[in-house]
Amino acid sequence: RKEVEQDPGPFNVPEGATVAFNCTYSNSASQSFFWYRQDCRKEPKLLMSVYSSGNEDGRFTAQLNRASQYISLLIRDSKLSDSATYLCVVNKGTYKYIFGTGTRLKVLA
């Protein structure tokens, strides 16, 4: 079983829709969690860190469920520019950041 698993998608959604991705992790000792977005042929860019109490940044909301060992990302009012691959990253408190393989999102006009 992979340490970090994501549905590869693609998730095809119309503009203005709400879309959510989950990411499951296998190591209960995981301490830090992040969402990155990666555009085609570009570098991963930090979208947001995920805090235990959940956090929101504009149209984006991240949540952590330690009991079920998953994190989620919710995007409201999707824009065409949200089309990208979203990477889930988990860290156990060391220098090793475990990356998921990413979920592709396509927002359609």
Partner 1 sequence: DAGVIQSPRHEVTEMGQEVTLRCKPISGHNSLFWYRQTMMRGLELLIYFNNNVPIDDSGMPEDRFSAKMPNASFSTLKIQPSEPRDSAVYFCASSLQTGGNQPQHFGDGTRLSIL
Tell which positions 45-74 bind partner 1, by CB under 8 A. Answer: 45-46, 49
Q: Does 21 bind partner 1 (CB under 8 A)?
A: no
The dihedral region occupied by 9, where left means phi > 0, alpha psi between -120 and 50, and beta the remainder, is left
What does the DSSP 8-state code read for residue 26? S
Q: What is the DSSP letter of 76?
A: -
The residue among 18 and 49 lying less far from partner 1, judged by its C-beta, is 49
Q: Is 11 in the site for partner 1 (CB under 8 A)?
A: no
CB of 91 to partner 1, least distance (A): 3
- The verdict on 29 binding partner 1 (CB under 8 A) reads no
Q: Is 14 helix (H, G, I), strand (E, B) or coil?
A: strand
